[in-house]
C-alpha cells in the first residue's frame, strides 16, 4: 500500500479530524505519518499512527493559556482603525513556514502523498513538487470557503498563501453540506461531511456511577465546553454560567479543556451538587445525547458533534472561524449566539429558557443531526484519496 503524510496546524480541533482520517487510512492498509506539534503526539500515538514534528511554535495547553488574550479577536473586530486592528491580531503563534517546510521535507521522504490543511498549503505544494508526489488539499473548517475570494481577501484569520493555488480539483472539505453551503467559486471541492474523531479510550467506555447519575438526572444538565480554546478570565466564565444554570434550576457539567476550568473557579455560594467538573475526555456522543444544551466557544468540531446528537447550542464566539460557525447555528435555528465579552447571568438564563431549551430548537437540532449522522465523511474522503493515489 501507500505511504501518506498528513499535516495540520493549530490547536486540538485542527488535528483530531486528521487523526481520525489517518486512522481509517491505516485500517485500509496504508502507512500514515502525522506531522503535528508536540502537544498532539499523545493523540496520534494513541491512534496507532506515526508522529513526526511540525517545528515551531508548539501549541499546547500551557502555551495557549500563557497567551489567552490572543485568542480573543473581538477587540480587533471592534477596532476603529487599521492600527488598532493590527495590535489585536494573534501574534503569539505566528506560523513558522520555514520550520514547517524543513519538517515536511523530512517526513515526505519516500511518501506517495501529502495531505495538508489550509495553513500548510504553501509548504505542502513545494514538497509535493520537489518529490513529485500527489498533493491533496483539505480543510476541517468551512470558513472561508463559503464566501467569495473578494469577500475574504482582507481577513486576518487565515494566511493568504492557500489562495495562490486555485486548483481545487483535489480539495476536500470535512464539513457537512447540511451545516453550510460552499461559494460557487469553490464548486470543484469535494464536501464529504464531517470527520468525527473517536478516541480509542471510548471503545467500551462506561461512565462512572457519579457521572451517570449527574448526567442522566432530570431535568437534563447543561454542558459548558470551550475545548482547546483558552480564556483570559476562566473564573468569570465559570461563575456567570453556573449562576445562570442555578437561576434555571439546572445542573451543569463543565469540561476543563485548555481554558483550565476547575473547581477553584466555583463561587462559594453555589451548591456543589449542581456542578460537576470533568477533566480529560468523556465520550461526547454519550454526553451530548443526554444534555439539554451545549454552551461552547463555537469550534466547528464541537458544534458538529453536538448537532449529530440532536443537542441545541449556545455559542459564545471569541475568534477565528467561530463567528461564521455561530451564524450557521443561527441560520439553522438550532441554537443562539451571545457576545462572549458581555455575558450576564440574566442574559444567559433568558436566552437558554426562552430560545434554546424549547421544543422547537430541540426538534430542529434533532432533524439536522439525523442528516449529519447519516453521512460517511471519513469513508467518502478515504475513497477519494485512494482514487488519487
Which CATH fold topology does 3-199+376-388 show?
Answer: Rossmann fold (3.40.50)
pLDDT recorded at residue 230: 81
pLDDT recorded at residue 76: 55
SS3 139: strand
Class of domain 204-373: alpha beta
- The owner of cell 465520550 is 283
pLDDT in tens, 122-171: 999 999 999 999 999 999 999 878 877 766 555 544 445 545 566 778 99
Q: Which triple of cell numbers denotes residue 11?
A: 490547536
- Cα R_g (the chain), whole angstroms: 21
- H-type helices in 191-294, by residue range? 209-216, 234-247, 284-288
The CA distance from 306 to 223, in Å, is 10
Count Cα neighbours of 224 within 13 Å in the Cβ-side half-sphere. Answer: 27
pLDDT recorded at residue 172: 97
Domain with CATH 3.40.50.2000 in the chain: 3-199+376-388, 204-373
Contacts of 32 (CB under 8 A, 6+ apart): 3, 4, 5, 6, 22, 23, 25, 26, 49, 50
pLDDT recorded at residue 184: 87
The CA distance from 79 to 5, in Å, is 40
N-to-C CA span, the chain: 10
Render each residue's pLDDT in the chain as its tens digit; 389 residues. 899 999 998 888 899 999 999 999 999 999 999 999 888 999 999 999 999 998 776 776 666 666 666 656 666 555 444 554 455 444 445 666 788 888 999 999 999 999 999 989 999 999 999 999 999 999 999 987 887 776 655 554 444 554 556 677 899 999 999 999 888 888 889 999 999 998 887 778 888 999 999 999 999 999 999 988 888 899 999 999 999 999 999 999 999 988 889 999 999 999 889 999 998 768 889 999 999 999 999 999 999 999 999 999 999 998 888 999 999 999 999 999 999 889 999 999 999 999 999 999 999 999 999 999 999 999 999 999 999 99
The CA distance from 332 to 140, in Å, is 20
Q: Which triple of cell numbers denotes residue 49?
A: 499512527
Rounded to two decimals, the pTM is 0.90
Contacts of 200 (CB under 8 A, 6+ apart): 46, 47, 48
pLDDT recorded at residue 77: 54
Amino acid at each position: 500500500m501507500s505511504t501518506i503524510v498528513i499535516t495540520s496546524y493549530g490547536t486540538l480541533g485542527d488535528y483530531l479530524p486528521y487523526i481520525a482520517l489517518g486512522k481509517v487510512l491505516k485500517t485500509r492498509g496504508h502507512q500514515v505519518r502525522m506531522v503535528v506539534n508536540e502537544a498532539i503526539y499523545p493523540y496520534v500515538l494513541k491512534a496507532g499512527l506515526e508522529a513526526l514534528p511540525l517545528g515551531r511554535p508548539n501549541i499546547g495547553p500551557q502555551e495557549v493559556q500563557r497567551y489567552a488574550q490572543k485568542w480573543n479577536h473581538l477587540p480587533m473586530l471592534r477596532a476603529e482603525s487599521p492600527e488598532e486592528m493590527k495590535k489585536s491580531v494573534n501574534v503569539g503563534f505566528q506560523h513558522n513556514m520555514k520550520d514547517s517546510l524543513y519538517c515536511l521535507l523530512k517526513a515526505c521522504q519516500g511518501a506517495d502523498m501529502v495531505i495538508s490543511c489550509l495553513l500548510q498549503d504553501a509548504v505542502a505544494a513545494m514538497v509535493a513538487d520537489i518529490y513529485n508526489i500527489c498533493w491533496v488539499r483539505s480543510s476541517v473548517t468551512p470558513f472561508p470557503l463559503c464566501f467569495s475570494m473578494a469577500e475574504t481577501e482582507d481577513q486576518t484569520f487565515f494566511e493568504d498563501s492557500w489562495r495562490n493555488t486555485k486548483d481545487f480539483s483535489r480539495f476536500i472539505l470535512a464539513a457537512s453540506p447540511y451545516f453550510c453551503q460552499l461559494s460557487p467559486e469553490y464548486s470543484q471541492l469535494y464536501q464529504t461531511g464531517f470527520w468525527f474523531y473517536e478516541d480509542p479510550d471510548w471503545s467500551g467506555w462506561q461512565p462512572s456511577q457519579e457521572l451517570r447519575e449527574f448526567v442522566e438526572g432530570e431535568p437534563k444538565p447543561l454542558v459548558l465546553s470551550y475545548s482547546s480554546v483558552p480564556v483570559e478570565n476562566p473564573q468569570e466564565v465559570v461563575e456567570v454560567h453556573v449562576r445562570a444554570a442555578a437561576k434555571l434550576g439546572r445542573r451543569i457539567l463543565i469540561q476543563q479543556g485548555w481554558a483550565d476550568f476547575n473547581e477553584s473557579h466555583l463561587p462559594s455560594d453555589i451548591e456543589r451538587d449542581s456542578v460537576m467538573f470533568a477533566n480529560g475526555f468523556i465520550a461526547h456522543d454519550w454526553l451530548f445525547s443526554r444534555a439539554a444544551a451545549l454552551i461552547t466557544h463555537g469550534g466547528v468540531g464541537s458544534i458538529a458533534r453536538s448537532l449529530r446528537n440532536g443537542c441545541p447550542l449556545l455559542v459564545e464566539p471569541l475568534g477565528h472561524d467561530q463567528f461564521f460557525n455561530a451564524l450557521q447555528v443561527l441560520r439553522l435555528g438550532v441554537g443562539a449566539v451571545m457576545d462572549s465579552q458581555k455575558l450576564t447571568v440574566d442574559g444567559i438564563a433568558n436566552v437558554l429558557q426562552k430560545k434554546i431549551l424549547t421544543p422547537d430548537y430541540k426538534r430542529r437540532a434533532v432533524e439536522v443531526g439525523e442528516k449529519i449522522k447519516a453521512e460517511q465523511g471519513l469513508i467518502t474522503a478515504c475513497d477519494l484519496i485512494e482514487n488519487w493515489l
